[in-house]
Amino acid sequence: MLYFGKRVKELRKSAKLTQADLAERLMVSVQTVSKWETGNAMPDISQIVPLAALLGVTTDYLLGVTGNEKADREQLIQEVERINKGIDKVYDRKDEPYHACYLLYREYIRKYPLDFEMKFRCADSMIRCLYYSKISEEEKEKLYQEAVNLLESIMYCDEDTTRGIDARQLLVILYLYQNDFVKAEETARTLPQKGSIRTAMEIEIASKKNDQARCVELAESACREAVHHYLWALAVRARRISLCGMERKREAIDAWQNLIEAVKANDTAFRDMTIHTKWLYSAYNHLSNDYLALSEKEEALDVVETLAKTILDDYRVCKDRGENAEAEELRKNFEFYLKGCCQQGVTDGGLIFENTRFLACIAMRDRMTQ
């Protein structure tokens, strides 16, 4: 009974029906439907046929007495593969393999309506038909609505899963086919931003509108987000290696240098001061401290000098861009950024902050004019 109840629940959700909807149409109570779905009761034999009809399946499928689903699935995949490779010309018009694949998928999901992966593939074939197949406008309209219903049924059952997210992305593409920008944008806003999934769909929408400037803006935003995630991972790795102790300090130094090189590589695409203040300056701070931990004072001071020159260069870039507030922030915090270096205490009998090379670096601030 539990298997039957689970199947009823999944089919109900796939049909976008609530328990109350099902109860009303079958003239039973909501509690009765709930008992079916939890496996605490079975429908009366007289209710099986109308229940199957409401859920859009055969009574055999509802009761779990269909054929071999695994074998049928494997056969479907093989047939679709042969069509896509041009091995089997099973379709009437040689330029329309997408339509042939759609028909195969449709036949299969009618028999196995809870195979959401095949539903998704069917919807994908339907969209390809809309774009590439030579079918009438009336056929296209029917196909469009069928694809919408199919994708919505996947979303309704698996809204927050990878499958549900994929369905929403495909739904955006489908709405764009009809130039329905309102629905496309509404659906795109429901997508997660992780991995720039939402941004990718927003770019599709902007491209359909022929707004290339917006496409560039969104792509650059996605690049920055990806770069921040990558640099964060490099920074965490370097810091954790450094905290492992003296025996891994040399490895930590290499890791900090890798982070610095990654930031510099990003500069060739776009110089982002947020990346510099958040990742680059911090990498120089930790690098100098790890050198001092190994009693390599001159190497540590080399890092301080490099950091001072980098901040000075960043200041000039900000001034050239007219980013005066950012430039002033660099000028005000210049000494603070440098003193993040060399926190390892006393070297050669005196504080590293009193070293003439360090003081010369601090003096570079005088090159910054308000």
pLDDT at residue 262 in the model: 94
Burial class (CB in 10 A: 0-12, 13-18, 19+), 318: buried
Cα distance between residue 356 and residue 360, in whole Å: 6
Cα distance between residue 193 and residue 24, in whole Å: 39
**Domain covering 69-210 in this structure, CATH number:** 1.25.40
Of 36-40, 62-66, 297-301, 304-308, the one with minimum mean pLDDT is 62-66
Which is higher by pLDDT, 181 or 85? 181
User: Could you read off the pLDDT of 42-57 as tens digits, one per residue?
Assistant: 787 778 788 888 877 7
Q: Where are the domains of the chain?
A: 2-63, 69-210, 223-367
pTM of the model: 0.64
User: Could you read off the pLDDT of 40-94 as tens digits, one per residue?
Assistant: 787 877 787 888 888 777 777 777 666 677 788 888 888 888 888 775 555 454 4
Per-residue confidence band for 349, with pLDDT thresholds at 50, 70 and 90: very low
Mean pLDDT of the chain: 84
Of 159-168, 304-313, 350-359, the one with minimum mean pLDDT is 350-359
Residue 6 contacts by C-beta under 8 Å, 6 or more apart in sequence? 37, 39
**Residue that has been written with the tokens 């025996």 in this structure:** 247
CATH class of residue range 2-63: mainly alpha
Per-residue CA distances from 346 to 161, 252, 282, 294, 342 (Å): 55, 21, 21, 13, 9
Task: Write out the H or E segment, with its range, that includes residue 351.
Answer: strand 350-351
Name the most confidently modeled range: 11-20, 73-82, 198-207: 198-207
Cα distance between residue 297 and residue 351, in whole Å: 11
